[in-house]
Amino acid sequence: MARASPPTTGSSTRPMAISSARRIAFEVLRRVEAEGAYASDVLHAELGGSIKPEDAALATELTLGVLRWRALLDFLLERQLKKSVARLDLPVATALRMGLYQLRFLERIPARAAVHESVELVKRARKASAAPLVNAVLRRLASDAKAPIEKLLPSGATLAERLAILHSHPAWMVERWLARTGESQTIALLEANNRTPRLSCALHDPARREEIFASLQTTGLHAEPGRLLNAAFAVSGGSPTRTAAFRAGHISIQDEASQSIPLLLDVQRADRVLDLCAAPGGKTPPLARAAGKQGLVIAADRHAHRLRAMRQQFTRLGLEGAHLVELDATKPLPFRTQFNRILVDAPCSGTGTLARHPEIRWRLQPAQLPEFHALQTSLLEAALESLAPGGRLVYSTCSLEPEENETVVAAALDRNHAIRRLNKTEAARSIAPHLVPGLEAASFFDRSAQFRTIPGEYHTDGFFATMLEKK
């Protein structure tokens, strides 16, 4: 990890020791903001090797906590600064946010440690001139760090503006959800987005469940059954990527709702299967296993580097039989054969994953939703051209927005009368065998037989899927 050299302007500005957890979190937050990186990706790279589990846990908590609560942190900081946090140099803004997050949300960290190390982070980043400002602002905030936010809200704020501050989301996003689902459901969604998501895994060989769980426990991990799928489980107490079970390809990290999507295709032996937007590759393995050696499975993506990462993943899993193809799926597909199973897990805004990827809420803009709609519509229409008669296509996103979901499907159905949507009974039949006992498959489908998971209901990401068939 590249770090700035310490300043040498005198003992008063010489940086003192900073915990590795705070150094890592500071660097990750810098890269998320300055480079457009995703926090989960950078954390995964930074937390390998010799990092102690407790330091990895704190670095993750600081990084994702600051990203989730950025709007609230900035609101409180700006009351002291009397100017926008956005006008500060990025290292200064990051140190202030990290310090205030610790003061307000982390009970076990002494206020003096939160303030002191935030000051030292600024010095380390060659912004020693801002150290007195960081020190003064955080010391003032430390005195009333737990004060109720409701008493500080502007008197003329609308409901959306109040919720946007209290739950740290963009006001435009809150306004959309209020208009669509009402206040109580919107608050439930906002609260779910600010909770740490379950670390869910896919179990690739359910027959070895007890053996795999026992091996995880020897590394200090605690495993518990999935909330949706009988081949899923959740872990706590560490990282599954450091275990022998992960290295051997027996498990993968994947949200349960994401695991559900390929099951909707109901792939059979010898099927011809196309995973059109396959990267990062989590949904292809169950398709390939279901199709077997007699089947044809093609996993496509437009980016060569993502295909290389998928190939490494498939090697870890011992997966054979999936052919990787680089292509632009918005254009006519280059296949002579037609497929009887196609998955279009389309690129999307990701508003169903804001708990797992909180930086998305600050990057996404309303004007991007029509752009996603146009892209998704072109992907779906291209895929439908390659669907064999009697074949099934699943269109899915991890978005909650109608522009990316219902209206995309509606546009495709309007233009192609040879396509029908499966009814609720047909749709539920595909996933029913995979659900944990006691769950009713039909409950995951709305009146239009559209599959949905809502963040907070089953501790999963928010996914949408529709199952289409060519007549």
Would you tell me how many other CB atoms lie within 10 Å of the CB of residue 334?
A: 10
C-alpha span between 200 and 202 (Å, rounded): 7
132: tokens are 């007195």
C-alpha span between 341 and 272 (Å, rounded): 6
Would you tell me how many other CB atoms lie within 10 Å of the CB of residue 18?
A: 17
Amino acid at 273: V
- Which among 201, 277, 348, 398 is annotated as catalytic? 398
Q: Which helix (H) or strand (E) holds 444?
A: none
Amino acid at 102: Q
SS3 state of residue 75: helix
Q: DSSP label at 413? A: H
Scanning 125-218, the segments in alpha helix (DSSP H) are 131-142, 159-166, 171-181, 183-193, 209-217
Would you tell me how many other CB atoms lie within 10 Å of the CB of residue 239?
A: 20
348 carries an active-site annotation: no
**Cβ–Cβ under 8 Å, residues 192 and 460:** no
**Cβ–Cβ under 8 Å, residues 268 and 290:** yes
C-alpha span between 193 and 400 (Å, rounded): 12
C-alpha span between 172 and 180 (Å, rounded): 13
Q: Which of 338, 469, 341 lies closest to 409 in space, CA to CA? A: 469
CA angle 369, 375, 379 (to 5 degrees): 140
Q: For residue 245, report the phi and psi dihedrals to the nearest 5 degrees.
A: -60, -40
**Which residues have a catalytic role annotated?**
398
